[in-house]
Each structure stands twice: as structure tokens, then as C-alpha cells.
Amino acid sequence: MAVSEAKIRANARYTKKAYKKVAIYLNKDSNKDIIECLDGVKSKNAFIIECINEKLESMKSKA
């Protein structure tokens, strides 16, 4: 079933309004461990968010 142009535009508007996009560039040579770790997880987005949340909690507990 084809998606209408209106639906595509509506989804794009919602995504732009609801989410913040962040790009991460990793050097293939110097960040091999990070790249291998990310390749092994099911959801890179969820993994990165979890790591950031853990770091934030750690920072809060030290303050």
C-alpha cells in the first residue's frame, strides 16, 4: 500500500517538531572499540541514550 504525499509531509512535520537530531562522526581508526561496541547492539539510539543517562546520573551524584 502506497503512502500518500500528505502522510509523508505530516510525518516529516511531526518528526521535526518532536525530535532533536544529533549526528556523531567517529574516526574509523581511532574509535575502533566504540564502533565495534555500537555494531554489537540492537539499537544504537537506545544504547547512546542509556550511556548519556548513566553519565548524567553519575554527575548528579558527585555534585
Helix, strand, coil percentages (3-state) for the chain, rounded to 5, are 65, 0, 35
34 with 26: CB under 8 angstroms?
A: yes
What is residue 7's predicted lDDT score, i.e. its pLDDT?
97
> pTM value?
0.68
pLDDT in tens, 19-31: 999 999 999 899 9
What is residue 25's predicted lDDT score, i.e. its pLDDT?
92
d(CA 62, CA 54): 13
Segments forming the whole domain that contains residue 56: 5-62
If you search the block for the grid coordinates 518528526, which residue do you land on? 15
